[in-house]
Amino acid sequence: MECSSLSTNVVDTLTLEDVYKQNNLVLINYAIGCLFKYNKKHLLGNRIGFEKEDIFNFVRLYYFKTKIM
């Protein structure tokens, strides 16, 4: 999974950016994934969603680390 995450979230995204730049195009890349995990306030199934003010809490995952590169 780590190789796949690194490829998709870093290498492929940078390649896409290069192609757009070479063709004088604007790239808007909406790529977001899991930034939150369940906690005491947000239990699985309680239907309480996360808000934009909430601080992400998934920093230990390799996937998350590739999203912020």
Residue of 29 and 5 predicted with greater confidence: 29
pLDDT at 21 over 90: yes
Residue of 35 and 19 predicted with greater confidence: 19
- Residue 59 is predicted with a pLDDT of 67
Task: Give this prediction's pTM.
Answer: 0.49
- 3-state secondary structure at position 1: coil
- Tokens 């809490």 label which residue? 57
Measure the CA–CA gap between 27 and 15, rounded to whole angstroms: 11
**Where on the phi/psi map is residue 26: left (φ > 0), alpha (ψ -120 to 50), or beta?**
beta
Residue of 39 and 23 predicted with greater confidence: 23
- Please provide the average confidence, as pLDDT, over all residues in the chain: 80
Do 13 and 34 touch, CB atoms closer than 8 A? no
Residue of 12 and 55 predicted with greater confidence: 12
